[in-house]
Amino acid sequence: MISQSDIDVILSGRSSVLDSGGAKIGSAGQVYLDDQTGEPSWVTVKTGLFGTSESFVPLQGAQLSGDDVSVGYTKDQVKDAPRIEADGDLSPEEEDRLYRHYGLTRPTAQGTTGNTAGNTAGVTGGDRSGRTGDAEYTERSQARGTVGHDTSGPTTDDAMTRSEEQLRVGTERREAGKVRLRKYVVTENVTKTVPVQHEEVRVVSEPITDANRGDALDGPAISEEEHEVVLHEERVVVDKEAVAVERVRLDTETVTEQQEVSDTVRKEKIEILDETANDTGTTRNQKNKR
């Protein structure tokens, strides 16, 4: 059960709203209090791209788990809830729509759900603007000399408020892909030139001289002899050795690029319809726009 003591945690900016399965629906926005009991009655959850939409979720049966609010509804139920602006008190009609959507029954002896907890906690009931009624407004208006009145409904103000939509663009971090390092073995041919040596025999003839005459005449004058020489050669020997040549690792760097985002926004225009009759009795229809 969510109580008054939990409001600060929910409004801390760290709180998320979790559905009945524990999945995150979105970030918690505002907490709405019951006018009769002052207890938390609704919480808004920010959904959609960049959290630009807010959906109302009942706090009946909700539990606070750390900084997060666990509600007993699915993510689709919350996202399909009636679109209601989170800009003030909930009217009885708006609450009825929400109760019907979530299959709940309005508690007995309950009036309008109060304003949001936090900056507007001092306003208790009344219309969305926080005024206490037409009588007080009329008294204030007469005190400062109000000109004109509202022809489209109950007099609530002496001026129109012109609003417009503003495009708010942000970014969100998401997974774009994965990069892996994989080591594998390939076979390639390597050719090297290696010098090798071998011995060849050659016959050397030399004349009889005084220096070799003794060797030459040693032995019989006529005989048969054999003489041999062992020849040598070099043979290429191939051996392989695994040698570490470098270290390779993955790193990331952030690259900033400019992207254009465009969307349509609505704005209100105010025009002056001057239907004052001139001296000739004709009506002057003049439009001044803002």
pLDDT digits (tens, 9 = 90+) for 243-276: 999 999 999 999 999 999 899 999 989 888 877 7
- The string of pLDDT tens digits covering residues 207-225 is 999 998 888 888 888 888 8
Q: Which residues of the chain have pLDDT under 50?
A: 110-112, 115, 118-144, 282-287
Long-range contacts (CB closer than 8 Å, 24 or more residues apart) made by 58-67: 58/98, 58/99, 58/102, 58/104, 59/2, 59/31, 60/104, 61/1, 62/1, 62/2, 63/1, 63/2, 64/2, 64/6, 64/9, 64/10, 65/18, 67/9, 67/12, 67/14, 67/15, 67/16
pLDDT number for residue 241: 93
The strand pair at 16-18 and 68-70 is best described as parallel
pLDDT number for residue 283: 47
pLDDT number for residue 209: 92
pLDDT number for residue 281: 53
241 token code pair = 């050795």
Residue with tokens 């004709």: 282
Q: Spell out the domains of the chain, with CATH numbers in brackets.
A: 4-128 (3.90.50.10), 132-160 (no CATH)
pLDDT number for residue 83: 85
pLDDT number for residue 192: 93
pLDDT number for residue 157: 62
pLDDT number for residue 56: 92
